[in-house]
Amino acid sequence: MEFGLSEEQEQIRDEVRRFAENEIVPNAEKYDTEEKFPHEIVDKAAEMGLVGSSIPIEYGGAGYSTLESAIIAEELFSHDPGIALSIMACSFGTEAIREFGTEDQKERFLEPVATGEKISGAAISEPDTGSDVSSVSTRAEKDGDEWVINGNKMWITNGTVGDFFVVFCKTDPDADGRYDGFSQIIVESDRDGVSSDKITGKLGIRASDTAELIFDNVRVPEENLVGDRDAAFLQQMHFFDATRTGVAAQGLGIAKGALEAALDYAEDREQFGQSISEFQAIQHKLSEMATETEAARNLTYKAAWNVDQGNDITKLASMAKEYASRVAVEVSNEAVQIHGGAGYVNDFPVERFYRDSKITQIYEGTTEIQKNVIARELLDD
């Protein structure tokens, strides 16, 4: 059993770390405070192949594997989760186009994202619909050779900066099955009837753009339908192994960043005539934080590796997502505690890690949903 990374994967990690140290760290507090999307940093990330990193080479991407994308996410999120999400989320929604789209759709929408010319998004959640995806009310009706879309989407990443969105909507309201009658349709943001309202005041990941999207009689050509009509729900389930593993990598990165910051501070801070790292209470905190982070890394990497092998890992992906997100919250909490009062203000990055960590327990399926999935898979074995 081989646990080590390849030389190429280690090089990817080193390059991403240098990029993060030079471009992200000096600007992290600014973009967090201003709740501003970091366009300049995203453009530089695109030049390095970090935007749409898993988009195939033939469509302008780097063609990285799930494991390599997890390594990138871990490293970026260990420096600043808000800017990291802004970079990695530029390709949200393209996985559906990559897997189910036509060749024309791939050429029109994948290549511009991979090169940084365009930003994509996935529009699924609604004001009244979160975990229960089958309850979405956004409608798409056929009118000649066009789709007419009406509805609202909520908590949409890249909502005010995106150039197009893959919109999950109801196309057959009379479908018999609870999970039938849904389709995914590409909607360009500059079409008549599309508007957005930026959401501010978020607890964390403030550099990442989040918005409500409104579709008011938006017309798009029928060729913007992604995959088969009325089959979108099963299409979405197809990606959960990879996307939940991706969020696990985000949580792992946050834990890694918080641990490293706590280690540095504990060694520098002196009380009672000695470094606080010499106190057993602090040593025990650090040892537990390091152990939990390493356990999250192994679970996340195992899940990512299995996705690359084409294995069905529904249970493992939910385990990785649930555990790594929990570790992110717990480790960042302890990092703030080690900093004491200094950890409660933005002079140090741990307060940002702490705020940013919580979202990993919410998006891409809440902690409670992950536990339901794990239990279901266990009982069905």
Give the pTM.
Answer: 0.96
Residues 194, 217: Cα–Cα separation, whole Å: 9
Give the pair of three-digit tokens for residue 148. 């007419």
Q: Is 90 exposed, middle or buried (0-12, 13-18, 19+ CB in 10 A)?
A: buried
pLDDT value for 258: 98
Confidence of residue 366 (pLDDT cuts 50, 70, 90): very high
Domains identified in the chain and CATH numbers: 7-115 (1.10.540.10), 120-230 (2.40.110.10), 234-380 (1.20.140.10)
Average pLDDT score, the chain: 96
- What residues have CB less than 8 Å from 259, skipping those under 6 apart? 286, 289, 290, 293, 331, 335
Taking residues 218-245, what's their average pLDDT?
Answer: 93
β-strand pairing of 182-188 with 225-226:
antiparallel
Using a 10 angstrom Cβ sphere, with 0-12 exposed, 13-18 middle and 19 or more buried, the burial of residue 248 is buried
Calculate mean pLDDT across residues 200-228: 98
Q: What is the C-alpha R_g of the chain?
A: 21
Please say if 364 is a catalytic residue: yes
pLDDT of residue 86: 98
Per-residue pLDDT at 135:
86
Model confidence at 209: pLDDT above 90? yes
Read off the pLDDT of residues 42-79 as tens digits, 9 standing for 90 and up.
999 999 999 999 999 999 999 999 999 999 999 999 99
In eight-state DSSP terms, residue 24 is I
Report the relative pairing of strands 146-157 and 210-221 from DSSP bridges.
antiparallel
Q: Is the pLDDT at 132 greater than 90, yes or no?
A: no
> Strand, helix or coil at 136?
coil
Strand 139-143 to 146-157 pairing? antiparallel
Res. 343 pLDDT band, cuts 50 70 90: very high
- How high is the pLDDT of residue 133? 82
160-206: pLDDT as tens digits: 999 999 999 999 998 988 889 999 999 999 999 999 999 999 999 99
Residue 23 contacts residue 31 (beta carbons within 8 Å): no
Q: Is the pLDDT of residue 239 over 90?
A: no
113 pLDDT exceeds 70? yes
Question: CB burial class (10 A; 0-12, 13-18, 19+) of residue 192?
Answer: exposed
pLDDT band at residue 1, thresholds of 50, 70 and 90?
A: low
Q: Which two tokens stand for residue 56?
A: 């195939």
Alpha helices in 157-279 (DSSP H): 232-237, 240-268
Residue from 40, 260, 364, 368 carrying the catalytic annotation:
364
In the structure, what pLDDT confidence band is assigned to residue 134 with cuts at 50, 70 and 90? Answer: confident
Q: Are 90 and 75 in contact (CB under 8 A)?
A: no
77-91, 152-166, 223-237: segment of lowest average pLDDT: 223-237
**Alpha-carbon gap, residue 45 to 119, rounded angstroms:** 13
81 contact partners, CB below 8 Å, separation of at least 6: 204, 205, 250, 253, 254, 352, 353, 356, 357
DSSP at 129:
B
pLDDT score of 13 more than 70: yes
Residue 128 CA to residue 139 CA, distance in Å, equals 14
> Cα(65)–Cα(68) distance, rounded to whole angstroms?
5
Average pLDDT score over residue span 282-306: 98
Helix (H) or strand (E) holding 195: strand 194-198
pLDDT at 261 over 70: yes
Counting residues of the chain whose pLDDT is more than 90, the rounded percentage is: 92
